[in-house]
Amino acid sequence: MLPFRLIYHRGYDLNLGPHVFPSQKYKWLRGYLLAGHFAEEADFLAPAPAFDEDILLVHRPEWVEKLTSGTLTYHDILLLEVPYSRRMVEAFWLAAGGTILAARLALEQGIGFNLGGGFHHAFPDHGEGFCAVNDIAVAIRRLQADGAVRRAMVVDCDVHDGNGTAAIFANDPSVFTLSIHQANNYPSVKPPSNIDINLPDRAGDEEYLVRLGNGCRAALSMFQPELLIYVAGADPFQGDQLGGLSLTFEGLRERDRLVLGMAHAQRIPAAIVLAGGYAREVEDTITIHANTAAVAKEVMAQGG
C-alpha cells in the first residue's frame, strides 16, 4: 500500500477525440502505475463530482449555467479550445471533486494526489486553454469555506502561466500564487501572480531549478500556508509539443523533489494536480506523471 491515496475516476477523460490534449492519459497513467506494481487497486480512490455550490464559490452563475445547459457561444468554444459535450462537463466537475478530495487528504496524511486536475486557465466567467473549471481555486475556496484552512499557496510548474488562478486570487491576501513558466508562450495576457518566474525559450534543468528554488524559498519566507497545491505539469519537458523549455526527465524529477521536499520539511500539507502534458510520444507524458507519484512516495518515506 502507498502512504497516500491516488485519486482517479474513469470519467476524467474529457471525451475530446483526436486532440493535442490526450485526455485518455488519466486512464493510461492508472494502468501504467498498476502494471509497474507501483500501486495496487486499493491505492486508488474515486472522487465524487464537486457540487454546483462548490463550483459557484469561484465561478459566475452565468458560466456554470452555460456549461450545465450546453449553451456556450461560438466565442466561448474558441477560447476553451475543446469541443463541448456532456461528458466534458462531467469530467470537469469530477476533476474539481478530485482536487477537493486531494486537498482534504493532504491535511490528513501530508500528501494528496489527484491523477487529474490542474485546470489553471479557467476564469470565473469563462474557460480558456482546455480549462472550463478551475479545480485548484474551487478546492481552496471549499476548504476555506469549511474552515479547514485559512491560508493556501499555489506553486504552478506548468509550462504555461497560470493566468486564471492568478486572476481569481488577485488582491486576496489569504492565497499566495507562484507561477514558473515559459515567458514566450500561451497565454498572451498574463495576470500577475504574487511571484512570476518568466523563463526564456529553451531554458534547461539548471536554470529552471535554481530559479524555482529561489522563488519557493522567497514565497515561503513571505507567506506561511496551511495548504500547498502543487501544479505538476509535464509540459516543461524538452519533447513537449506545446512547450518551449528543455527540461529532462531527471530535471522534472528534481523539480518535484524540490517543491514536495520543501513542503514536507516545513510540514505543509501538499495536494498534487497533474495539469498539462503534450509530449510527442504520449508515453513520455505518462512517465513524467508517474515519476511525480514516485517522488511523492519518496518524500513521504523520509519521515520527519
Mean pLDDT by 10 residues, the chain (304 residues): 95 91 96 98 98 98 98 97 96 98 98 98 98 99 98 98 98 97 97 98 98 98 97 98 98 98 98 97 97 97 78
Q: Classify burial at 147, counting beta carbons within 10 Å of its beta carbon; exposed 0-12, middle 13-18, buried 19 or more.
A: exposed
The upper half-sphere exposure of residue 5, i.e. CA atoms within 13 Å in the direction of its Cβ, equals 19
The single-letter code of the amino acid at 238 is: Q
Q: Rounded distance, CA 287 to CA 94, Å?
A: 23
pLDDT (tens digit per residue) in 132-176: 999 999 999 999 999 999 999 999 999 999 999 999 999 999 999
| pLDDT on residue 33 | 98
pLDDT (tens digit per residue) in 91-105: 999 999 999 999 999
For β-strands 6-7 and 195-199, DSSP reports them as unpaired
Q: Rounded distance, CA 244 to CA 242, Å?
A: 7
- Given strand 270-273, what is the order of strands in its sheet? 44-45, 6-7, 111-114, 270-273, 227-231, 152-156, 175-182, 195-199
| pLDDT on residue 18 | 85
Q: Which residue pairs from 172-176 have beta carbons closer than 8 angstroms and sit at least 24 positions apart in sequence? A: 174/144, 174/150, 175/140, 175/151, 176/151, 176/152, 176/219, 176/222, 176/223, 176/225
What predicted TM-score, i.e. pTM, was given to this entire model? 0.97
Q: Could you tell me if 185 and 159 are in contact, meaning their C-beta atoms sit under 8 angstroms apart?
A: yes
| pLDDT on residue 1 | 86
| pLDDT on residue 304 | 61
Residue in this structure with the C-alpha cell 500501486, named with its chain if needed: 39
Q: Rounded distance, CA 275 to CA 119, Å?
A: 6
Rg of the chain's alpha carbons, rounded to an integer?
17
172 dihedral zone (left: phi>0; alpha: psi -120 to 50; beta): beta
Q: Domains in the chain and their CATH numbers?
A: 6-301 (3.40.800.20)
196 dihedral zone (left: phi>0; alpha: psi -120 to 50; beta): beta
| pLDDT on residue 195 | 98
